[in-house]
Amino acid sequence: MVTSHKAILESINPSTKEVLGRVPIMSKVQVDEIVAASHKAYEIWQLTSYKQRAKYVLKLRQVIAARADELAQLISEEVGKPLAEAYLSELTGPLDTCVWMVENAEKLLADQSISLSNPLLSSKQSLVAFEPLGVVGIIAPWNYPFSIPMMATIMSIMVGNTVIIKPSEKSPLIGIKIGEICQEAGLPHGVVEIVTGDRETGKYLSEAALNKLIFTGSVQGGQKVMAQCADNLTPLTLELGGKDAAIVLPDAPIDWTCRGITWGAFTNAGQACASVERVYLIKGKNTEKIISKLTKLASGLKLGPGTSDSTDVGPLVDEVQLAKVKDQVEDALSKGATILTGGKAREDLGGFFFEPTVLTNVDHTMKVMTEETFGPLLPIMVVETEDKAVELANDSQFGLCATIWAGKLERAECVARDLNVGTALINDCLFSHATPQLPWGGIKKSGFGRSHSYFGLYDLVNIKHISIDSAGGSHRVWWYPYGKAKVKMARGGIQMLHGKMTERPVGLVHFVGNMFVGPQSENPTGKAAMKPESEAAKTDANPGDKPQ
Ligand code: NAD
């Protein structure tokens, strides 16, 4: 958590509420200067080869790996996540992205030739070239303060863009650390820049002259950023909130499913956009066993500071997040929910802690089933049928991820296809964000655009079409001049290529018969277009006008 004091942000350890450090809140002038420096660096950086850029990215990988302990420690201190998660969910994604990009970026972005089907275009060759866009802004959240901006940065610089990262006001020290490791990797000045500050600083960045902006954060933030990008028409990717459902089919393996859902709900204290936020348990002989196992697993999780090796669940990031979780629990209880374990804030532990909580007797009148929680709550709703589970899972303003837990995988795949989300995972959860080859992004209020994967790569480049014509001096049938013959030729051409099989020969005759009716034979003066239409019609006679 961070409080602002004049032009300084304070970074707070959420496990202890102690001040970890202070960073400047950058002004508009400072942000604009950094944007200008980034454009300047781009002039040179865009000219470097994939091989040259790969060297820097490999060096970056070495630096991250060498400083892994220091990074994991800082991540645990600044946002409170357990150390195991700081290594596994923050560092592996960027490290794997370095390797994937170095091995594949050039291949994935090699020129592509496109074959054209229309015979009129037979003298043309078309190709697509992928070129960098320019300066990419990355506005990042605090919940994955290293992996989210780093994965986008590695992909961006590898394709020849320069980058400006605006870390969250709740994790500014990690943002500064990213700047440090990029410097240590030897990246030229201006290729990766950091602007620290609050939402106002983010506003300055989103309104600046960027060539692309990747925003990851809340729906409200995304809506504002979209408006802020409108003036410059800055292309935007929005990675926003989620309310991810887990559907448990009656044949789901009990132990695997319960352990998976417990991790999906409580990892990062539930503060992941892809956390399991609600469970639909389809009634079957194992229903009670699954509920009691989930309750047992949740009550066994150890709450504590992120930096302790034995901690399973760390604190929430700040007071605001804690208040939101308390409010959702109170709302659910007032509407008839039952708490099976947890349910209380644990500020006696020194930070913004809340117990891992399992709730039943919940429904869609409750905030806990419809609004993003971003906390350690696991509400379970028992439903009669698979159709009902799908209907309720889709009854959401969000469409980020969903999980399906099942024995029969074909059945689970059918359910996955019925869910309105960007990612549907069967028998696992959350892992795919850290896997750079897999597309990431949502629909509905979870945002738009895709990051990671080759779809994300295409979002970071100008997809440029180049057409080469080798026809030399021959005439183009669609060029001027027009006239009756041209219309007949065009009509004949459409009939020839797309009409009923029986009409195609007639189309061919009209097409060919009018194709070579040049401007001279149609109107030797070439002035027909200047005449009134009725008069022009009288002089427009040509071979194609004969009655058929
Ligand atoms: P937030 O919207 O408060 O802030 C995110 C970032 O945007 C911060 O750096 C902030 O300073 C900046 N910002 C906020 N308002 C801005 C504005 N008007 N103009 C410019 N910048 C602005 O979100 P948060 O609390 O940091 O993050 C939590 C949210 O992020 C959750 O809703 C979560 O689901 C979502 N999230 C989504 C994904 C995803 O991939 N879909 C990943 C992580 C987090």
pTM here is 0.93
Dihedral sign for Cα 414, 415, 416, 418, please: positive
96 and 79 in a common domain = yes
Relative to beta strand 398-399, strand 443-444 is antiparallel
Is residue 13 in a domain? no
Q: Would you call 273 a catalytic residue per the annotation?
A: yes
Q: What confidence score (pLDDT) does residue 1 get?
A: 39
* Ligand 1 binding pocket includes 488 (Cβ within 6 Å): no
Write the single-letter amino acid at 471.
A
* Ligand 1 binding pocket includes 484 (Cβ within 6 Å): no
Q: Which residue of the set 77, 85, 169, 239 is catalytic?
A: 239
372 and 427 in a common domain = yes
Is residue 15 in a domain? no
328 and 218 in a common domain = no
Is residue 338 in a domain? yes
Residue pair 188/160 in contact by the 8 Å Cβ criterion: no
In this structure, what CATH number is given to the domain that contains residue 227?
3.40.605.10
Residues 6+ apart with CB under 8 A from 135: 35, 38, 39, 42, 161, 162, 163, 164, 209, 210, 211, 212
In whole angstroms, give the CA distance from residue 476 to residue 467.
15
Residue 141: give the domain boundaries.
Answer: 28-240+455-465
- Closest CA relative to residue 424, chosen from 400, 446, 393, 402: 402
Is residue 470 in a domain? no
Is residue 297 in a domain? yes
Q: At what angle do helices 50-66 and 172-184 cross, to 10 degrees?
A: 120
259 and 234 in a common domain = no
* Ligand 1 binding pocket includes 400 (Cβ within 6 Å): yes
420 and 299 in a common domain = yes
Residue pair 434/93 in contact by the 8 Å Cβ criterion: yes
Total tally of structural domains belonging to the chain: 3
186 and 130 in a common domain = yes
395 and 489 in a common domain = no
- Alpha-carbon dihedral of residues 440, 442, 445, 447, nearest 10 degrees? 50
In whole angstroms, give the CA distance from residue 226 to residue 126.
34
**R_g (Cα) of the chain, nearest Å:** 30
In whole angstroms, give the CA distance from residue 143 to residue 316.
10
Q: Which of 25, 144, 168, 324 to mutate to test the pocket of ligand 1 (most atoms within 8 A of CB)?
A: 168
Residue corresponding to tokens 């132990």:
255
Q: Which of 2, 9, 81, 143 to mutate to test the pocket of ligand 1 (most atoms within 8 A of CB)?
A: 143
Give the number of the atom of ligand 1 that is nearest the alpha carbon of residue 199.
Answer: 11
Relative to beta strand 357-360, strand 377-383 is parallel
Q: Which residue of the set 229, 273, 401, 429 is catalytic?
A: 273
364 and 289 in a common domain = yes
In this structure, what CATH number is given to the domain that contains residue 356?
3.40.309.10
Is residue 448 in a domain? no
- Measured in Å, residue 216 CA sits from the centre of ligand 1 at 5
530 and 390 in a common domain = no
Q: Would you call 239 a catalytic residue per the annotation?
A: yes
Residue pair 61/98 in contact by the 8 Å Cβ criterion: yes
Q: Which residues of the chain have pLDDT under 70?
A: 1-6, 473, 518-548
The model's pLDDT over 435-476, given as tens digits with 9 standing for 90+, comes to 999 999 999 999 999 999 999 999 999 999 999 998 876 778
91 and 225 in a common domain = yes
429 and 331 in a common domain = yes
Q: Which of 89, 273, 317 to mutate to test the pocket of ligand 1 (most atoms within 8 A of CB)?
A: 273
251 and 224 in a common domain = no
Q: Which helix (H) or strand (E) holds 86?
A: none
- Measured in Å, residue 217 CA sits from the centre of ligand 1 at 2
- Measured in Å, residue 220 CA sits from the centre of ligand 1 at 8
Is residue 446 in a domain? no
- Measured in Å, residue 29 CA sits from the centre of ligand 1 at 23
* Ligand 1 binding pocket includes 249 (Cβ within 6 Å): no
Is residue 23 in a domain? no
Return mean pLDDT, the chain.
93
Q: What confidence score (pLDDT) does residue 520 get?
A: 54
Q: What confidence score (pLDDT) does residue 473 get?
A: 66
* Ligand 1 binding pocket includes 318 (Cβ within 6 Å): no
Write the single-letter amino acid at 263.
W
